[in-house]
Amino acid sequence: MKTKLHIVRSFLTIFMLGIVSFSTFAFEYTISFTASGQSTVFDSIVVKNITKGISITIPRGGILILSDVVSDLIPVTIGRERISVYSSPALDKATLSFYAGNAGNARIGVFGTDGKEILATNTVVQAGNNSFELSLPNGIWIIQARGTGYSYTAKTISQSGTLTVPKIRVIDIPVQKTKLQKSKKTAGTMLFSMGDELLYTGIAGNSTTVMTDSPTGNNSIDFSFVECKDGSGNYYPVVKIGTQLWMARNLNTTKYFNGDNITYLTTADEWRYAYSEGMCNNYNNPDNGLKYGKLYNWYAVSDSRKLAPAGWHVATQDEWTTLKVHVDTHWGAFANVAKALAAHEDWKKSLVEGAVGNNLYTNNYTGFTALPGGDRGGTNGTFFNLGEAAFWWTSTEFNISNAWYWYFDNNALYIVWDNSRKQFGLSVRCVKD
C-alpha cells in the first residue's frame, strides 16, 4: 500500500509540474486611450515602464500593447519594443512577430552568440504586424528582422530538448485591404511583466496630464486635461495623486496672476534684508529657473496678488500631509515616499539603499516628478543644494517670522517637514482648488 501511495504521489507531483510548465505562456494586454476636459483628443502619450526603465511614445489614435513571454523560449532583450517571441511549449515551437513600417521585401536571420548566421529567409511582408513560426534547438540565439525603414533584434533562449534543425515558416500573411488599413490604429508594443508600474504622460496642445498604473488586464485610460497656466503664460503638467490634482513641475512664474511683476532679488544683501516679496533663479542662472522652477521667499507665497494659476493655490501644510499619507499607503511596499515622488534624473547619486539618488530609474512611481532645485539661505542669501535637495513652501504660517515647508535630499527615504524663516528661497507647488 505504501508503494502504491508513493507512486500516486510521484504521479501527482509530475502532473502538477506539468501544469506549471504548460500554463506559463505569454499574455497580451491592450491599453486604449481617450481624452476629456480641455481637449477631447491627445497629440501623443509617452509611456514609461518604471520597473524596467524602458519607454515608448504612442501617437494620436494609437493603442498600447503590453506583452510578456515566460516559457521554454524566453526573450532576454527586445529591441525598440516592436519585436516579440511567443512560445508554444506543447508544440515545441514559437511565434516570431514584428511590426513593419513599410510593405515589401524583408530578411529574417538567426545568429548564434558567435555572430555566425545559421538560418535566414527572404520574404515579403505587409505594412503592420507580421508573424512567423520559429523552431530553434536548445541554446541562445539572436533573431534579426530587417526591411525598408526598420531593423529589429531580439535575443532569445530556447530550452528545447528535441529540436536539432532550426526552421522559419511564414504564418498567414493576409491580403492587404486599403480601407481597413486606413482605419487601423497604430499600436506600440512594450515589454511588461505583472506588477510593473507604468507612467503615462498625455499631451494635448498646451495641456499635459501625468498618470500612473499597474495594469492587470485590458483597459481604457481617459486623460482628463486640466489647464494650469500661470501669470507669465507658462503651462504646467498636471498629475492626480489620490484625490488631489498637483502641478507636476515647480512654479516658474515671474508675475503674479494679476500681471504685476514679482520682485527679482539678485544680490545676497538684497535677499537677506528683504521683508517683502521676492524671487530668483538658483545661482541667478535663468537655465536653472527653466529646469527647476524659481525660488520664492514666503512673502511672495502669501502675497494677495497670488502666485498660483487661476483655479489653483499654493499647497497648504495639510495638503502636503495628505499627499505623504496617500503615497505611503499606496506605494510604500514598492518605493519609499521620497523616491516615489522624485524624478528619474538630475539627482546626485547615493549609496543609500532605497534612497532618492540610488537607482534613479526606479523613482517617480507617483508622477510627481520632483527635481532637486535647491534653496537660498534667508540669513546670508547664499545658494545651496542644487542637484541634491528639493524644498517647497506651504502657504501655512508657523508664526510671525517662520512658515512651514517640506523637503528631501538625494540620500533620503522619506519626505519630511519643518519651519523656517520667511526670507528663505524655496520652490513652490500648487494644488487644484
- Shortest CA distance to 424 belongs to which of 384, 388, 389, 386? 384
How many other C-beta atoms are found inside a 10 Å radius of the C-beta of residue 172? 6
Secondary structure class of 269 (helix, strand, coil) = helix
How confident is the model at residue 9, as a pLDDT?
A: 37
As a whole number of angstroms, the distance between CA 429 and CA 349 comes to 24
Q: Is 81 left (phi over 0), alpha (psi -120 to 50) or beta?
A: left
Beta bridge partners of 261: 255
Q: What pLDDT, on a 0 to 100 scale, did the predictor assign at position 28?
A: 79
- What pLDDT, on the 0 to 100 scale, is given for residue 331? 75
What pLDDT is stored for residue 161 in this prediction?
Answer: 65
pLDDT per residue as tens, the chain (433 positions): 444 333 333 333 323 333 333 333 356 789 999 999 999 999 999 999 888 888 889 998 899 988 874 333 333 333 334 677 665 444 567 777 777 777 777 888 887 776 677 887 878 888 777 788 878 787 777 787 877 767 777 777 776 667 677 777 766 544 333 333 333 467 788 888 888 889 999 999 999 999 999 898 899 999 999 999 999 999 999 999 999 999 999 999 999 999 999 999 999 999 999 999 999 999 999 999 999 999 999 999 999 999 999 999 999 999 999 999 999 998 765 578 999 999 999 999 999 999 999 989 889 999 999 999 999 999 999 999 999 999 999 999 999 999 999 999 999 999 999 999 999 999 999 999 9
d(CA 396, CA 417): 12
Task: Give pLDDT, residue 31.
Answer: 93
Beta-carbon neighbour count of residue 135 at 10 Å? 20
User: What is the pTM for the complete model shown?
Assistant: 0.69
According to DSSP, the residues that pair with 93 across neighbouring strands are 88
Backbone angles phi, psi at 432, to 5 degrees: -65, 135
Nearest-angstrom CA–CA distance, 11 and 212: 45
Can you give the pLDDT at residue 104? 75
Q: Residue 5: in which H helix or E strand, if any?
A: helix 2-23
C-alpha cell at 109: 536571420
Q: How far apart are CA 305 and CA 394, in angstroms?
A: 17
From 77, 93, 97, select the one nearest 85 (Cα to Cα): 97
